[in-house]
Copies of this chain bind each other. A is one copy, B any other.
Amino acid sequence: MTTLDTVLAEADRQLDQSLERLFELIRIPSVSTEPHYAAACRRAAEWLRDELASLDFDASVRDTAGHPMVVGHGPKVAGPHVLFYGHYDVQPVDPLALWTTPPFEPSLVPQPDGETFITGRGASDDKGQLLTFIEACRAWKTVTGSLPIQVSMLFEGEEEAGSPSLGPFLEANADDLRADTILVCDTDMWDRETPAITTMWRGFVSEEFEVTTADRDLHSGMFGSAARNAVQLLGSIIGALRNEDGSVAIPGFYDGAIELPAANKAEWERLPFDAEKFLGDIGLSIPAGEAGRSVLEQVWARPTAEVHGVWGGYSGDGFKTVIPAKAGAKISFRLVAGQDPHRIRDLFRDFVRAMIPADCSVTFKAYGTAAAQSMPLDGKLLTKAKEALTTEWQRETALAGTGGSIPILGEFKERLGMDSLLIGFARFDNRIHSPNEKYDLSSFHKGIRSWVRILHAFTEA
Protein backbone atom coordinates (compact mmCIF):
# COMPACT_ATOMS: atom_id res chain seq x y z
CA MET A 1 0.00 0.00 0.00
CA THR A 2 1.43 3.36 -1.05
CA THR A 3 1.33 6.36 1.25
CA LEU A 4 -1.36 7.84 -0.99
CA ASP A 5 -3.49 4.72 -0.60
CA THR A 6 -3.06 4.88 3.17
CA VAL A 7 -4.11 8.54 3.25
CA LEU A 8 -7.15 7.80 1.07
CA ALA A 9 -8.08 4.97 3.43
CA GLU A 10 -7.72 7.37 6.37
CA ALA A 11 -10.02 9.86 4.58
CA ASP A 12 -12.59 7.08 4.26
CA ARG A 13 -12.13 6.00 7.87
CA GLN A 14 -12.52 9.49 9.29
CA LEU A 15 -15.59 10.37 7.18
CA ASP A 16 -18.02 10.27 10.10
CA GLN A 17 -15.85 12.64 12.12
CA SER A 18 -15.44 14.85 9.05
CA LEU A 19 -19.21 15.00 8.76
CA GLU A 20 -19.54 15.79 12.46
CA ARG A 21 -17.13 18.69 11.99
CA LEU A 22 -19.14 19.92 8.99
CA PHE A 23 -22.32 19.75 11.07
CA GLU A 24 -20.63 21.83 13.79
CA LEU A 25 -19.76 24.49 11.26
CA ILE A 26 -23.22 24.51 9.65
CA ARG A 27 -24.77 24.98 13.10
CA ILE A 28 -23.02 28.34 13.39
CA PRO A 29 -25.45 30.76 11.64
CA SER A 30 -22.80 32.91 10.00
CA VAL A 31 -25.05 35.02 7.75
CA SER A 32 -22.80 37.89 6.74
CA THR A 33 -25.42 40.33 5.46
CA GLU A 34 -27.54 40.39 8.63
CA PRO A 35 -25.97 42.42 11.46
CA HIS A 36 -27.44 40.34 14.28
CA TYR A 37 -25.41 37.36 13.07
CA ALA A 38 -22.10 39.22 13.46
CA ALA A 39 -21.15 37.25 16.60
CA ALA A 40 -21.90 34.01 14.78
CA CYS A 41 -19.61 35.08 11.94
CA ARG A 42 -16.80 35.60 14.43
CA ARG A 43 -17.57 32.22 16.02
CA ALA A 44 -17.26 30.55 12.60
CA ALA A 45 -13.92 32.28 12.08
CA GLU A 46 -12.68 31.10 15.49
CA TRP A 47 -13.90 27.58 14.77
CA LEU A 48 -11.86 27.52 11.55
CA ARG A 49 -8.81 28.95 13.32
CA ASP A 50 -9.04 26.13 15.88
CA GLU A 51 -9.36 23.52 13.12
CA LEU A 52 -6.26 24.89 11.44
CA ALA A 53 -4.40 25.00 14.74
CA SER A 54 -5.24 21.32 15.23
CA LEU A 55 -3.37 20.68 11.97
CA ASP A 56 -0.31 22.49 13.38
CA PHE A 57 -1.09 25.57 11.33
CA ASP A 58 0.01 28.96 12.54
CA ALA A 59 -3.56 30.26 12.47
CA SER A 60 -5.18 33.49 13.54
CA VAL A 61 -8.39 35.45 13.29
CA ARG A 62 -7.69 38.84 11.76
CA ASP A 63 -10.03 41.80 12.18
CA THR A 64 -11.20 43.83 9.22
CA ALA A 65 -13.67 46.66 8.82
CA GLY A 66 -16.28 43.90 8.42
CA HIS A 67 -16.27 40.28 9.46
CA PRO A 68 -12.86 38.82 10.33
CA MET A 69 -10.50 36.85 8.11
CA VAL A 70 -8.85 33.59 9.09
CA VAL A 71 -5.27 33.08 7.96
CA GLY A 72 -3.31 29.89 8.58
CA HIS A 73 0.11 28.74 7.44
CA GLY A 74 1.14 25.10 7.50
CA PRO A 75 4.71 24.06 8.17
CA LYS A 76 7.18 25.01 5.45
CA VAL A 77 7.71 22.13 3.01
CA ALA A 78 9.68 22.01 -0.23
CA GLY A 79 7.76 22.21 -3.52
CA PRO A 80 4.85 24.34 -4.56
CA HIS A 81 3.10 26.60 -2.06
CA VAL A 82 -0.66 26.83 -2.41
CA LEU A 83 -3.09 29.28 -0.83
CA PHE A 84 -6.50 27.76 -0.32
CA TYR A 85 -9.31 30.32 -0.30
CA GLY A 86 -12.83 29.74 1.03
CA HIS A 87 -15.58 31.64 2.78
CA TYR A 88 -17.32 30.79 6.03
CA ASP A 89 -20.24 33.16 5.59
CA VAL A 90 -23.56 31.99 4.18
CA GLN A 91 -26.61 33.46 2.47
CA PRO A 92 -29.69 34.49 4.47
CA VAL A 93 -32.25 31.72 4.94
CA ASP A 94 -35.48 33.56 4.03
CA PRO A 95 -38.10 32.43 3.29
CA LEU A 96 -37.75 30.13 6.28
CA ALA A 97 -41.16 28.53 5.72
CA LEU A 98 -39.91 26.85 2.54
CA TRP A 99 -37.24 24.83 4.35
CA THR A 100 -38.19 21.21 5.01
CA THR A 101 -35.37 20.85 7.58
CA PRO A 102 -34.16 23.76 9.76
CA PRO A 103 -31.36 25.60 7.93
CA PHE A 104 -28.92 25.58 10.85
CA GLU A 105 -29.67 22.04 12.02
CA PRO A 106 -27.88 19.86 9.47
CA SER A 107 -29.05 16.35 8.81
CA LEU A 108 -28.40 13.44 6.49
CA VAL A 109 -31.32 12.67 4.19
CA PRO A 110 -31.06 9.42 2.18
CA GLN A 111 -32.30 9.65 -1.40
CA PRO A 112 -34.05 6.97 -3.49
CA ASP A 113 -31.06 6.71 -5.86
CA GLY A 114 -28.64 5.79 -3.04
CA GLU A 115 -27.21 9.30 -2.66
CA THR A 116 -27.43 11.03 0.72
CA PHE A 117 -28.03 14.77 1.04
CA ILE A 118 -26.28 16.81 3.70
CA THR A 119 -28.87 19.51 4.37
CA GLY A 120 -28.48 22.99 5.79
CA ARG A 121 -27.51 26.54 4.86
CA GLY A 122 -23.87 26.47 3.74
CA ALA A 123 -23.84 22.66 3.37
CA SER A 124 -22.56 23.29 -0.14
CA ASP A 125 -21.74 27.01 -0.35
CA ASP A 126 -19.10 27.07 0.97
CA LYS A 127 -18.82 25.22 4.27
CA GLY A 128 -19.09 21.73 2.81
CA GLN A 129 -16.80 22.57 -0.08
CA LEU A 130 -14.08 24.27 1.99
CA LEU A 131 -14.05 21.40 4.50
CA THR A 132 -13.24 18.90 1.73
CA PHE A 133 -9.85 20.60 1.58
CA ILE A 134 -9.31 20.86 5.35
CA GLU A 135 -10.30 17.23 5.84
CA ALA A 136 -7.93 16.14 3.08
CA CYS A 137 -5.14 17.97 4.92
CA ARG A 138 -6.23 16.25 8.14
CA ALA A 139 -5.98 12.82 6.53
CA TRP A 140 -2.45 13.59 5.36
CA LYS A 141 -1.53 14.94 8.77
CA THR A 142 -2.94 11.90 10.56
CA VAL A 143 -1.08 9.42 8.37
CA THR A 144 2.22 11.21 7.72
CA GLY A 145 2.37 13.79 10.52
CA SER A 146 2.66 16.59 7.97
CA LEU A 147 1.34 17.86 4.65
CA PRO A 148 2.93 16.83 1.35
CA ILE A 149 3.33 20.44 0.16
CA GLN A 150 3.31 23.85 1.73
CA VAL A 151 -0.28 24.97 2.36
CA SER A 152 -1.69 28.28 3.52
CA MET A 153 -5.35 29.01 3.94
CA LEU A 154 -7.44 32.17 3.86
CA PHE A 155 -11.09 32.24 4.83
CA GLU A 156 -13.24 35.31 4.59
CA GLY A 157 -16.65 36.04 6.05
CA GLU A 158 -18.03 38.52 3.51
CA GLU A 159 -18.14 36.63 0.22
CA GLU A 160 -21.94 36.69 0.15
CA ALA A 161 -21.78 40.43 0.81
CA GLY A 162 -19.47 41.28 -2.09
CA SER A 163 -16.14 40.83 -0.27
CA PRO A 164 -15.66 44.51 0.60
CA SER A 165 -12.74 43.85 2.96
CA LEU A 166 -10.85 41.37 0.79
CA GLY A 167 -9.03 43.78 -1.51
CA PRO A 168 -7.66 45.99 1.29
CA PHE A 169 -6.74 42.87 3.30
CA LEU A 170 -4.81 41.36 0.38
CA GLU A 171 -3.09 44.67 -0.18
CA ALA A 172 -2.09 44.98 3.49
CA ASN A 173 -0.97 41.35 3.78
CA ALA A 174 0.49 40.72 0.36
CA ASP A 175 3.79 39.25 1.56
CA ASP A 176 2.05 37.02 4.08
CA LEU A 177 -0.40 35.62 1.54
CA ARG A 178 1.53 35.29 -1.72
CA ALA A 179 1.87 31.69 -2.95
CA ASP A 180 2.30 29.86 -6.24
CA THR A 181 -1.39 29.49 -6.86
CA ILE A 182 -4.78 29.93 -5.25
CA LEU A 183 -6.97 26.89 -4.81
CA VAL A 184 -10.68 27.49 -4.57
CA CYS A 185 -13.42 24.97 -3.85
CA ASP A 186 -16.60 26.90 -4.63
CA THR A 187 -17.66 25.63 -8.09
CA ASP A 188 -19.69 22.82 -9.64
CA MET A 189 -18.77 19.52 -11.20
CA TRP A 190 -19.51 19.20 -14.92
CA ASP A 191 -22.25 16.69 -14.16
CA ARG A 192 -22.96 14.19 -11.39
CA GLU A 193 -20.09 11.92 -12.47
CA THR A 194 -17.64 14.23 -14.21
CA PRO A 195 -15.16 16.37 -12.28
CA ALA A 196 -14.38 19.82 -13.58
CA ILE A 197 -11.76 22.53 -13.31
CA THR A 198 -13.07 25.96 -14.19
CA THR A 199 -10.37 27.67 -16.19
CA MET A 200 -12.09 30.74 -17.65
CA TRP A 201 -14.63 33.23 -16.42
CA ARG A 202 -16.00 36.41 -17.84
CA GLY A 203 -15.40 39.91 -16.62
CA PHE A 204 -18.12 42.26 -15.59
CA VAL A 205 -19.02 45.90 -15.55
CA SER A 206 -22.32 47.08 -14.16
CA GLU A 207 -24.04 50.36 -14.54
CA GLU A 208 -27.28 52.16 -13.91
CA PHE A 209 -28.46 55.07 -15.98
CA GLU A 210 -31.45 57.35 -16.05
CA VAL A 211 -32.57 59.72 -18.77
CA THR A 212 -34.51 62.90 -18.10
CA THR A 213 -36.52 64.65 -20.79
CA ALA A 214 -39.01 67.28 -19.60
CA ASP A 215 -38.86 68.83 -16.13
CA ARG A 216 -41.99 66.91 -15.06
CA ASP A 217 -44.35 64.21 -16.25
CA LEU A 218 -46.72 65.52 -18.90
CA HIS A 219 -50.15 64.68 -20.27
CA SER A 220 -49.98 63.00 -23.66
CA GLY A 221 -53.14 64.78 -24.77
CA MET A 222 -51.51 68.12 -24.27
CA PHE A 223 -47.92 67.38 -25.30
CA GLY A 224 -48.04 64.03 -27.09
CA SER A 225 -45.48 63.83 -29.92
CA ALA A 226 -43.87 67.25 -29.42
CA ALA A 227 -42.46 66.54 -25.95
CA ARG A 228 -39.69 63.98 -25.76
CA ASN A 229 -40.84 60.81 -23.98
CA ALA A 230 -38.23 59.45 -21.56
CA VAL A 231 -39.40 55.84 -21.90
CA GLN A 232 -39.33 56.13 -25.68
CA LEU A 233 -35.80 57.50 -25.46
CA LEU A 234 -34.76 54.74 -23.07
CA GLY A 235 -36.28 52.15 -25.41
CA SER A 236 -34.31 53.57 -28.32
CA ILE A 237 -31.09 53.23 -26.33
CA ILE A 238 -31.83 49.69 -25.15
CA GLY A 239 -33.04 48.72 -28.61
CA ALA A 240 -29.81 49.98 -30.13
CA LEU A 241 -27.59 48.10 -27.68
CA ARG A 242 -27.55 44.86 -29.58
CA ASN A 243 -27.57 44.27 -33.31
CA GLU A 244 -29.95 41.92 -35.09
CA ASP A 245 -27.18 39.31 -35.20
CA GLY A 246 -26.95 39.31 -31.41
CA SER A 247 -23.71 41.26 -31.21
CA VAL A 248 -23.25 44.33 -29.05
CA ALA A 249 -23.57 47.52 -31.08
CA ILE A 250 -21.45 49.85 -28.98
CA PRO A 251 -18.60 51.18 -31.13
CA GLY A 252 -15.25 49.76 -30.01
CA PHE A 253 -16.88 47.18 -27.74
CA TYR A 254 -15.05 44.23 -29.30
CA ASP A 255 -11.70 45.99 -29.68
CA GLY A 256 -9.05 43.82 -28.09
CA ALA A 257 -11.48 41.06 -27.09
CA ILE A 258 -9.47 37.86 -27.28
CA GLU A 259 -10.84 34.96 -29.28
CA LEU A 260 -11.29 31.66 -27.52
CA PRO A 261 -7.90 29.85 -27.61
CA ALA A 262 -7.84 26.77 -29.82
CA ALA A 263 -6.98 24.55 -26.83
CA ASN A 264 -10.13 25.62 -24.96
CA LYS A 265 -12.19 25.29 -28.09
CA ALA A 266 -10.97 21.75 -28.63
CA GLU A 267 -11.64 20.91 -24.98
CA TRP A 268 -15.16 22.34 -25.13
CA GLU A 269 -16.02 20.47 -28.31
CA ARG A 270 -15.21 17.31 -26.41
CA LEU A 271 -17.59 18.18 -23.56
CA PRO A 272 -20.98 16.48 -23.51
CA PHE A 273 -22.96 19.71 -23.88
CA ASP A 274 -26.41 19.70 -25.44
CA ALA A 275 -27.24 23.25 -26.53
CA GLU A 276 -30.80 22.31 -27.37
CA LYS A 277 -31.37 20.91 -23.90
CA PHE A 278 -29.56 23.85 -22.30
CA LEU A 279 -32.03 26.27 -23.90
CA GLY A 280 -34.97 23.86 -23.75
CA ASP A 281 -34.63 23.64 -19.97
CA ILE A 282 -35.44 27.34 -19.72
CA GLY A 283 -38.22 27.32 -22.29
CA LEU A 284 -36.20 28.65 -25.24
CA SER A 285 -34.87 27.21 -28.49
CA ILE A 286 -33.18 30.01 -30.41
CA PRO A 287 -29.77 31.19 -29.18
CA ALA A 288 -29.89 34.97 -28.76
CA GLY A 289 -26.13 35.54 -28.80
CA GLU A 290 -23.78 36.31 -31.67
CA ALA A 291 -24.67 34.46 -34.86
CA GLY A 292 -22.08 31.89 -35.89
CA ARG A 293 -20.96 31.17 -32.31
CA SER A 294 -21.83 28.00 -30.44
CA VAL A 295 -24.04 28.39 -27.39
CA LEU A 296 -21.12 27.46 -25.11
CA GLU A 297 -19.01 30.15 -26.74
CA GLN A 298 -21.86 32.62 -26.36
CA VAL A 299 -22.20 32.06 -22.63
CA TRP A 300 -18.56 31.38 -21.68
CA ALA A 301 -16.28 33.07 -24.15
CA ARG A 302 -18.09 35.97 -25.75
CA PRO A 303 -18.90 39.34 -24.23
CA THR A 304 -22.48 40.50 -23.99
CA ALA A 305 -24.74 43.28 -22.77
CA GLU A 306 -27.72 42.46 -20.56
CA VAL A 307 -30.40 44.79 -19.25
CA HIS A 308 -31.43 43.68 -15.78
CA GLY A 309 -34.29 46.02 -15.14
CA VAL A 310 -36.13 49.08 -16.42
CA TRP A 311 -38.41 51.69 -14.94
CA GLY A 312 -40.26 54.74 -16.10
CA GLY A 313 -43.78 56.14 -16.15
CA TYR A 314 -46.87 54.40 -14.87
CA SER A 315 -46.92 50.63 -14.54
CA GLY A 316 -49.74 50.09 -12.05
CA ASP A 317 -53.28 48.93 -12.68
CA GLY A 318 -55.31 50.64 -15.35
CA PHE A 319 -54.03 53.35 -17.58
CA LYS A 320 -52.45 56.78 -17.23
CA THR A 321 -51.70 58.85 -20.30
CA VAL A 322 -48.53 60.29 -18.92
CA ILE A 323 -45.47 61.24 -20.94
CA PRO A 324 -42.77 60.09 -18.52
CA ALA A 325 -40.01 62.60 -17.87
CA LYS A 326 -37.64 60.04 -16.38
CA ALA A 327 -36.77 56.47 -17.24
CA GLY A 328 -33.83 54.29 -16.34
CA ALA A 329 -32.27 50.89 -16.52
CA LYS A 330 -29.71 48.69 -14.86
CA ILE A 331 -27.33 47.08 -17.28
CA SER A 332 -24.20 44.98 -17.17
CA PHE A 333 -21.65 43.74 -19.60
CA ARG A 334 -19.96 40.35 -19.39
CA LEU A 335 -16.46 40.67 -20.76
CA VAL A 336 -13.71 38.43 -22.02
CA ALA A 337 -9.95 38.65 -21.75
CA GLY A 338 -8.61 41.75 -23.47
CA GLN A 339 -11.55 43.96 -22.53
CA ASP A 340 -10.89 46.53 -19.82
CA PRO A 341 -14.04 46.98 -17.73
CA HIS A 342 -13.37 50.68 -17.18
CA ARG A 343 -12.89 51.30 -20.89
CA ILE A 344 -16.13 49.42 -21.62
CA ARG A 345 -17.95 51.61 -19.10
CA ASP A 346 -16.65 54.70 -20.87
CA LEU A 347 -17.62 53.37 -24.29
CA PHE A 348 -21.11 52.60 -23.03
CA ARG A 349 -21.51 56.07 -21.57
CA ASP A 350 -20.33 57.66 -24.80
CA PHE A 351 -22.78 55.48 -26.72
CA VAL A 352 -25.67 56.59 -24.53
CA ARG A 353 -24.67 60.26 -24.48
CA ALA A 354 -24.58 60.28 -28.27
CA MET A 355 -28.27 59.30 -28.28
CA ILE A 356 -29.43 61.95 -25.82
CA PRO A 357 -31.04 64.97 -27.53
CA ALA A 358 -29.48 68.32 -26.65
CA ASP A 359 -32.43 69.35 -24.46
CA CYS A 360 -32.42 66.10 -22.44
CA SER A 361 -29.93 64.66 -20.01
CA VAL A 362 -28.64 61.40 -18.60
CA THR A 363 -27.02 60.40 -15.33
CA PHE A 364 -24.94 57.32 -14.71
CA LYS A 365 -24.23 55.35 -11.57
CA ALA A 366 -21.30 52.97 -11.57
CA TYR A 367 -21.60 49.58 -9.93
CA GLY A 368 -18.87 46.95 -9.68
CA THR A 369 -16.38 45.66 -12.18
CA ALA A 370 -14.28 42.52 -12.53
CA ALA A 371 -11.76 41.56 -15.14
CA ALA A 372 -12.17 38.41 -17.19
CA GLN A 373 -9.64 35.68 -16.45
CA SER A 374 -8.43 32.68 -18.37
CA MET A 375 -5.96 30.14 -17.02
CA PRO A 376 -3.54 28.43 -19.40
CA LEU A 377 -4.72 24.86 -19.92
CA ASP A 378 -1.18 23.47 -19.89
CA GLY A 379 -0.06 24.83 -16.52
CA LYS A 380 1.87 22.30 -14.39
CA LEU A 381 -0.43 22.42 -11.38
CA LEU A 382 -3.56 22.37 -13.52
CA THR A 383 -2.31 19.34 -15.41
CA LYS A 384 -1.49 17.50 -12.19
CA ALA A 385 -4.86 18.38 -10.63
CA LYS A 386 -6.65 17.24 -13.76
CA GLU A 387 -4.91 13.86 -13.69
CA ALA A 388 -5.68 13.40 -10.00
CA LEU A 389 -9.36 14.22 -10.50
CA THR A 390 -9.63 11.92 -13.49
CA THR A 391 -8.15 9.09 -11.42
CA GLU A 392 -10.48 9.65 -8.49
CA TRP A 393 -13.70 10.00 -10.53
CA GLN A 394 -12.73 7.63 -13.33
CA ARG A 395 -13.97 10.21 -15.83
CA GLU A 396 -11.99 12.60 -17.95
CA THR A 397 -11.90 15.93 -16.12
CA ALA A 398 -13.75 18.74 -17.89
CA LEU A 399 -11.80 21.96 -18.36
CA ALA A 400 -14.78 24.23 -18.33
CA GLY A 401 -15.54 27.90 -18.58
CA THR A 402 -18.22 29.85 -16.87
CA GLY A 403 -20.16 32.84 -18.06
CA GLY A 404 -20.16 34.28 -14.58
CA SER A 405 -17.62 36.61 -13.07
CA ILE A 406 -15.44 36.01 -9.99
CA PRO A 407 -14.36 39.42 -8.78
CA ILE A 408 -12.38 38.08 -5.78
CA LEU A 409 -10.02 36.20 -8.07
CA GLY A 410 -9.45 39.41 -9.98
CA GLU A 411 -8.36 40.90 -6.65
CA PHE A 412 -5.85 38.08 -6.12
CA LYS A 413 -4.53 38.51 -9.65
CA GLU A 414 -4.32 42.27 -9.47
CA ARG A 415 -2.93 42.63 -5.95
CA LEU A 416 -0.85 39.48 -5.56
CA GLY A 417 -0.24 38.46 -9.18
CA MET A 418 -1.65 35.00 -8.49
CA ASP A 419 -3.53 32.67 -10.81
CA SER A 420 -6.29 30.40 -9.55
CA LEU A 421 -7.32 26.77 -9.77
CA LEU A 422 -11.06 26.34 -9.34
CA ILE A 423 -11.96 22.82 -8.36
CA GLY A 424 -15.38 22.22 -6.87
CA PHE A 425 -17.63 19.27 -6.15
CA ALA A 426 -21.00 21.00 -5.98
CA ARG A 427 -23.84 19.92 -8.22
CA PHE A 428 -26.16 22.11 -10.24
CA ASP A 429 -29.13 21.16 -8.05
CA ASN A 430 -27.58 22.12 -4.69
CA ARG A 431 -30.02 25.04 -4.21
CA ILE A 432 -27.30 27.35 -2.98
CA HIS A 433 -28.78 30.75 -2.03
CA SER A 434 -32.23 29.09 -1.88
CA PRO A 435 -34.23 27.18 0.71
CA ASN A 436 -33.21 23.55 1.27
CA GLU A 437 -29.57 23.91 0.29
CA LYS A 438 -27.83 20.54 0.27
CA TYR A 439 -24.47 18.98 -0.53
CA ASP A 440 -24.28 15.41 -1.74
CA LEU A 441 -22.46 13.09 0.63
CA SER A 442 -20.58 11.76 -2.40
CA SER A 443 -19.45 15.32 -3.20
CA PHE A 444 -18.12 15.63 0.31
CA HIS A 445 -16.48 12.22 0.50
CA LYS A 446 -14.99 12.08 -2.97
CA GLY A 447 -14.16 15.77 -2.71
CA ILE A 448 -11.94 15.02 0.28
CA ARG A 449 -10.38 12.09 -1.59
CA SER A 450 -9.84 14.30 -4.64
CA TRP A 451 -7.87 16.86 -2.64
CA VAL A 452 -5.86 14.07 -1.01
CA ARG A 453 -4.81 13.02 -4.50
CA ILE A 454 -4.23 16.58 -5.73
CA LEU A 455 -1.98 17.44 -2.77
CA HIS A 456 0.00 14.33 -3.57
CA ALA A 457 0.12 15.07 -7.28
CA PHE A 458 1.44 18.59 -6.60
CA THR A 459 4.54 17.11 -4.97
CA GLU A 460 5.55 16.03 -8.46
CA ALA A 461 4.78 19.36 -10.13
Contact = CB atoms under 8 A, between A and B. Distances in A.
Nearest to A206: B319
A255 interface: no
Contacts of A246: 225
A403 interface: yes
Given A309-B322, A324-B308, A402 B235 contact: no
A357 B286 contact: yes
Contacts of A231: 238, 307-310, 329
Interface in A294-332: 295, 298-299, 302-316, 318-324, 327-330, 332
A362 interface: no
Interface string A191-235: 000000000001000101000011110111111111111011011
A283 B214 contact: yes
Contacts of A234: 235, 238, 310
A306 B225 contact: yes
A241 interface: yes
Interface in A162-208: 202, 206, 208
A77 interface: no
Given A312-B310, A334-B220, A225 B302 contact: yes
Interface of A: 202, 206, 208, 213-216, 218-229, 231-232, 234-242, 246, 278-279, 282-290, 295, 298-299, 302-316, 318-324, 327-330, 332, 334, 357-360, 367-368, 402-405
- What are the 6 A-B residue pairs with the smallest beta carbon separation, nearest first? A239-B239, A235-B238, A221-B404, A215-B283, A225-B304, A309-B313
